[in-house]
Amino acid sequence: MKVILKSDIKNLGKKFETKKVKRGYFVNFLFPRGYALSATPALEKEATKILNMKKKRSEVKEEHVQEIMDKLKDIQLVFKKNVSEHNRLFDSIAEKDILEALEAKGVSLKKENIRMKSHIKILGEHDVLIHLKEGAELNIKVNVEDEGK
């Protein structure tokens, strides 16, 4: 029997896909738990329309990710901070500082996109990982200089 999935189901399919399953599986498991509906021509048409819209949205999102990646390739951030005599910063550079610096250069990201092992606390050049989505990540250079020099 043909069913339309209402949610992602491991080893079966993704939301809005039309799948063929045994009647007992549908009646005893999928339908009672709200995971699937019996496929009617009208529902199949609607599910196909939704899947096409999702595909178009993901293509647009992919273009947007590539556009941001192109902008980030050439960016190098420079921070001037007060340092102690041991070249340690009085205040560290955190994700929000990097977000603000990127925003000033015309790149809008969320805090979740920036992956730092720890806050930057010493002078020098550091790599910061920017993770946009699975498989789309790159390092940007962050240079920390002494404000007094």
Please state the domain count of the chain.
Answer: 2
Give the confidence band of 149 by pLDDT, cuts at 50, 70, 90.
low
Q: Where are the alpha helices (DSSP H) in 21-82?
A: 23-25, 41-73
In a domain, 68, yes or no: no
Give the structural domain span for 116: 75-146
Do 28 and 83 share a domain, yes or no?
A: no
Task: Let me know: does 125 contact 142? Beta carbons within 8 Å.
Answer: yes
In a domain, 67, yes or no: no
pLDDT digits (tens, 9 = 90+) for 39-94: 999 999 999 999 999 888 888 888 888 888 888 888 889 999 888 888 788 888 99
- Parallel, antiparallel, or unpaired: how do β-strands 136-146 and 124-133 relate? antiparallel
In a domain, 118, yes or no: yes
Beta-carbon contacts of residue 82 (< 8 Å; ≥ 6 apart): 89, 90, 91, 146, 147, 148
